Amino acid sequence: MSMNPTINRLQGDMPKIGIRPVIDGRRGGIRESLEEPTMNMAIACAKLLSDNLRHSNGLPVECVIADTTIGGVAEAARAAEKFRKQGVGLTITVTPSWCYPLETMDTDPHMPKAIWGFNGTERPGAVYLAAALAAHNQKGLPAFGIYGRDVQDIGDGSIPRDVQAKLLQFAKAGLAAATMRGKSYLALGTVSMGIAGCIADETFFQNYLGMRNEYVDMSEFVRRIERGIYDRDEYERALAWTRENCRIGADPNPPGFIRSEEQKAQDWETMVKMALIARDLMVGNAKLAELGYEEEAMGHNAIAAGFQGQRAWTDHFPNGDFMEAMLTSSFDWNGIREPYMLATENDNLNAVTMLFGHLLTNRAQIFADVRTYWSPEAVRRVTGQDLTGRAAEGVIHLINSGAAALDGTGRQTEDGQPVMKPFWDITESEVRDCLEATQWRPAVDFFRGGGFSTDFTTRGGMPLTMARINLIRGVGPVLQLAEGYSVELPEDVHDTLDQRSNPTWPTTWFVPNLTGEGAFRDVYSVMSHWGSNHASVSYGHVGAELITLAAMLRIPVSMHNVDPERLFRPSYWSAFGADDPQGADYRACAALGPLYG
């Protein structure tokens, strides 16, 4: 494995953004007068995106500008061919003027597309924008329309803030969609404890995400452990790092269930090997070819994966919590690096949601059970204390089996506030703080094969977005999300509530932002409307970005609390009911069908 943290560890180049400067093709003074301002718009757009965006692996985002302005179908075809050769995955069309929409448009049905029509009066780009969006809608090729609020003078090279925000929001979502295309989801095992989210629906992955499905039985872990199919040098280094950095917490099991120190030492050796093997199964490892395992060295080109674990594995072997927690964190024995998206219990729908969040934010994600709603009255009854501050109307206990990314401790900071950072901004001292805030507790009795789980409490005050994709018969995939904040409870209150669930697992106390209506009438309503036992949690209020990506993929949103001013969908959606945006979302997605279907 390369030690360079900013690498593309998957097959295929990173997608690029294609910039299409379109122009009024009429010669004799019209086109000639527009050549420079049109191309300057394209250059400014490309600079904005390249200066402000990075891929989730840390590599720079590249823009490809058409060789010439596009005034007609021949130049449009020429640009499309250049983009194909350059690996463009999304396009942004820019113009300050009227152009001929049908002759200049991007007609690739799988390419997310946006159009920035300059708000000016000399050669009104807004007129082109309206006509071009109408043409796209008529052809069923939805495009995101970008139009500044304030009139600018032609030749003004600045990009207004509102235009910048939409360009970046579109580009982030478009890059996410393009990055997933052609990659794999790797199921390590099958269905865990009857959870429907473990069923890998190939139609969903193929038609909505452009991904393929790969499957490996969990017995492959046993084969690789017993035959030594892993980097032995890295294993020794990883085991030493683990012994030095993973703090062991108290054993909660009754005497008859406590494993011996020898058994626990063996568990650690197995768990470290599991982490190496899961990573190698996902993305490959050239070191294995040197050991004579050329096939295993290739991996499955998996941008996301899930480990079944319970119960077929955990009734006999150590649990997968260490493997999942360390791989989904932004660091390990090799240093600081991009997190892997590896879901507990092979919940592939949560894995996809984690993947969405990671590609949009470049940060690690928290895998969580949506475990309990604690009302103020219930907290008062069991603790004798009142909830205060953001928690005053109740909290949702997000707590899983110990596999959440250690970034979720909130021990990374910015301006003194807790954050979860892109890996390239994380410092070595922050890594130590995350590890110091985490205890590894011997697994509880229903993990009969032993193992260890993480125990930490997320720091309060972090803006978070909880999200989940569910598959619904008669509809298909739907996305739900809730923006809110992490909160900290008084230590004695936390301990009392935590003991009633599982004190060996990581806790995030979450309070959603309330609107007073519908699913966000109160905290209880959010819990009541949640469509699954799991959620993925992203740092930041990124609901708008998730909704933009969902629209690209034709996935409707069943519940959200995002300010309408932040929503950004293709203009096609408004034709299905501008005054009923949620209903329009369902109707537009149904009419278009999945992006790759």
Could you give the residue numbers annotated as active site? 345, 369
Distance (Å, whole) CA 497 – CA 495: 6
- What residues contact 476, with CB distance under 8 A and at least 6 apart? 204, 208, 555, 589, 594
In Å, how far from its chain's centre is CA 145?
Answer: 24
Contact 119, 126 (CB under 8 A): yes
Q: Which ranges in 441-522 belong to alpha helices (H)?
A: 491-499
Contact 488, 460 (CB under 8 A): yes
Q: Is 13 annotated as a binding residue?
A: no
- What residues contact 81, with CB distance under 8 A and at least 6 apart? none
DSSP 58-119: SPBP-EEE-SS-B-SHHHHHHHHHHHHHHTEEEEEEEESS---HHHH----TTS-EEEEE--
Q: Which ranges in 420-482 belong to alpha helices (H)?
A: 428-436
Q: Which ranges in 152-218 belong to alpha helices (H)?
A: 161-180, 202-204
Q: Is 369 annotated as a binding residue?
A: yes
Distance (Å, whole) CA 287 – CA 291: 7
Calculate the CA dihedral of residues 564, 565, 567, 572 and round it to 10 degrees.
90
Would you give the end-to-end CA distance of the chain in angstroms?
Answer: 36
Residue given tokens 């969405």 in the structure block: 356
Q: Is 580 annotated as a binding residue?
A: no
Contact 305, 188 (CB under 8 A): yes
The number of residues making up the chain comes to 597
The pair of three-digit structure tokens given for residue 437, joined into one six-digit string: 């805030």
Q: Indicate the annotated binding residues for Mn(2+).
A: 345, 369, 534
Annotated binding site: 345, 369, 534
